Amino acid sequence: MTIQIVKPNEIEKRSMEIITSELGGRTWPEPQFSIVKRCIHTSADFDYADNLVFSEGAEMIGVKALRAGAHIVTDTKMAAAGINKTALSAYGGEVHCFISDPDVAAEAKERGCTRATICMERGAELAKDHQVIFAVGNAPTALVRLHEMIKEDGLKPALIIGAPVGFVNVVESKEMIMELDDVPYIVPKGRKGGSNIAATICNAMLSYKG
């Protein structure tokens, strides 16, 4: 076993070279390719080459929204922590996660719903004054509530990143988002996803130079 000697500032570059090589010549139009590679890099899981679904033009819609100062609403502190806030704030955007707010917990308990549901409602209020990208990395109930507000209340997200992970209602909630005709989305279909993937997709769009 031989350990490669790679300088710290070259590790990510070398990783991307390995990923590109192991994709065996498969490519996507940018910035889809960057998003795919970054999801693989984050997870070491090449399934993302096949399970990432982009609605028509979603990746560039997301890039343009971020550059226009869109805010990002997440359903987990982990996703919020993973987003490059320096890059986002340079465009005038902010990251919001309401999951730990005491009033969110109290309202969720009173209504008998998840805190993630309330978080999406808080994000919908924010969307009255800002473009909002919803980056969901954990809770299927967040996607279900977004779907309801889009259909019933006219909510218009700039983009939905629908990446909850797990087994209960995960696949079904993603399919609900992918059935929407007029809302851009990026979704890793199936059971895989996670807060790290949601944050990674945001960062891939933020770092796109095209």
Quick one: pLDDT at residue 115? 97
Question: Quick one: pLDDT at residue 77?
Answer: 97
**Within a domain: 131:** yes
Per-residue model confidence (pLDDT) at position 170: 98
Domain-located, residue 50: yes
C-alpha span between 128 and 105 (Å, rounded): 23
Assess whether 41 carries a catalytic annotation: yes
Residues in contact with 160: Cβ distance below 8 Å, sequence separation at least 6, in sequence order? 133, 134, 136, 143, 146, 177, 183, 184, 185, 186, 187
Q: Considering 41, 71, 130, 147, which one is annotated as catalytic?
A: 41
Q: Give a yes or no: residue 182 inside a domain.
A: yes
The CATH number covering residue 135 comes to 3.40.50.10230
Q: State phi, psi for 108 to the nearest 5 degrees.
A: -65, -40
pLDDT tens, position by position, for the chain (210 residues)?
A: 777 777 777 889 999 999 999 999 999 999 999 999 999 999 999 999 999 999 999 999 999 999 999 999 999 999 999 999 999 999 999 999 999 999 999 999 999 999 999 999 999 999 999 999 999 999 999 999 999 999 999 999 999 999 999 999 999 999 999 999 999 999 999 999 999 999 999 999 999 998
Say if 203 falls within a structural domain.
yes
What pLDDT score does 2 carry? Answer: 78
Domain residues for 69?
30-207
Count: domains in the chain? 1
What pLDDT is recorded for position 210?
Answer: 87
How many other C-beta atoms can be found within 10 angstroms of the C-beta atom of residue 128?
8
Q: Is residue 163 part of a domain?
A: yes
Assigned domain for 193 exists: yes
Q: In a 10 Å sphere around its CB, with 0-12 CB exposed, 13-18 middle and 19+ buried, how is residue 124 labelled? A: buried
Structural domain includes residue 2: no
Radius of gyration of the chain (CA): 17
Does any domain span residue 18?
Answer: no
CB-CB neighbours of 25 under 10 Å: 6
pTM recorded for the entire structure: 0.95
